[in-house]
């Protein structure tokens, strides 16, 4: 079966003698509508068999608004012909619903965004139980959409596999079952630091050319995997033009990253970087 094919061999699921156990479920991929799957062409490492099982391996990160879990999506060995690829590790980001507070400082990011249904708008404004559940789903969908667009633009982001209600499944960035370190935890030589800086500036340029600011960029949501910088946590991505605080958030991103690099001996000017990014954004 080709990865570009939307059809699935449902008999894999119907006649498999394997039953999901504790902390397992059948792969949710077959039930996801096409628009909630990642952009094509799908990566060669994707597991799309209807007979695959998702196994929860543990928590990668706990946060105020969402928790990230390590998931293995694998096709059980039932003695039949081998399936390629047969297993992959994924990161499952699950936004919390009615049992948690709303997204941190959400109003400054959502200015300029609109919801179609008046009932939904009222619920979000009143922060009712329905509104909080709706908000969690909207943030998951917003991050999936942002990752999809940024991935297609060539930005160094995890590939977004799928979104299902409040759960976003994406590429796991790490070696084995160990997640890649955050930039904040990396000890780098002067040469390595310079290379990391150039990568961070380039990813900010990609955002700016598309008219976006990350909105909450810092050394804590930049991963370094085998020397490559990968940006994560993008649900709050901001349209610089439509959001009244767009320029302010660009400046804040610049200050955050420049402060970290300056403390490690690499001189950089956040005002200069901000000006360069704004020129990229408005020169589209």
What are the residue numbers of the active site? 216, 233
* Cα–Cα separations (whole angstroms), residue 54 to 93, 100, 103, 171, 179: 14, 26, 27, 14, 18
**Rounded to whole angstroms, how far apart are CA atoms 92 and 134?**
19
In sequence order, the β-bridge partners of residue 146 are none
* Cα–Cα separations (whole angstroms), residue 214 to 34, 157, 271: 26, 12, 17
Token reading at 178: 């160990």
CB-based contacts of 143, cutoff 8 Å, min separation 6: 93, 160, 163, 168, 233, 234, 235
The C-alpha torsion from 178 through 183 and 187 to 188, rounded to 10°, is 120
Give the three-class secondary structure for 62.
Answer: strand
**Rounded to whole angstroms, how far apart are CA atoms 176 and 154?**
25
**CB-neighbour burial class of residue 156 (10 A; exposed 0-12, middle 13-18, buried 19+):** buried
């Amino acid at each position: 079966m080709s990865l570009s094919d939307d059809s699935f061999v449902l008999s894999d699921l119907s006649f498999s003698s394997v039953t999901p156990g504790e902390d397992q479920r059948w792969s949710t991929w077959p039930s996801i509508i096409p628009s909630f799957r990642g952009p094509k062409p799908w990566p060669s490492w994707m597991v799309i068999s209807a007979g695959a099982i998702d196994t929860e391996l543990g928590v990668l990160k706990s946060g105020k608004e969402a928790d990230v879990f390590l998931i293995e999506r694998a096709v059980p060995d039932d003695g039949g012909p081998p399936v390629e690829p047969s297993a992959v590790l994924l990161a499952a980001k699950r936004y919390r619903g009615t049992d948690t507070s709303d997204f941190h400082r959400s109003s400054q990011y959502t200015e300029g965004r609109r919801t179609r249904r008046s009932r939904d708008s009222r619920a979000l404004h009143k922060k009712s139980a329905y509104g909080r559940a709706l908000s969690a789903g909207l943030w998951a969908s917003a991050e999936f959409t942002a990752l999809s667009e940024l991935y297609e633009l060539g930005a160094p982001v995890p590939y977004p596999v799928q979104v299902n209600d409040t759960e976003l499944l994406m590429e796991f960035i790490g070696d084995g079952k160990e997640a890649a370190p955050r930039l904040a935890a990396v000890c780098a030589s002067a040469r390595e630091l310079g290379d990391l800086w150039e990568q961070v500036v380039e990813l900010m340029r990609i955002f700016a050319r598309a008219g976006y600011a990350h909105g909450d960029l810092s050394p804590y949501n930049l991963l370094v995997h085998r020397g490559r910088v990968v940006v994560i946590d993008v649900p709050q991505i901001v349209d610089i033009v439509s959001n009244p605080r767009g320029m302010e958030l660009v400046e804040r991103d610049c200050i955050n990253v420049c402060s970290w690099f300056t403390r490690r001996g690499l001189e950089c000017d956040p005002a200069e970087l901000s000006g360069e990014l704004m020129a990229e954004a408005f020169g589209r």
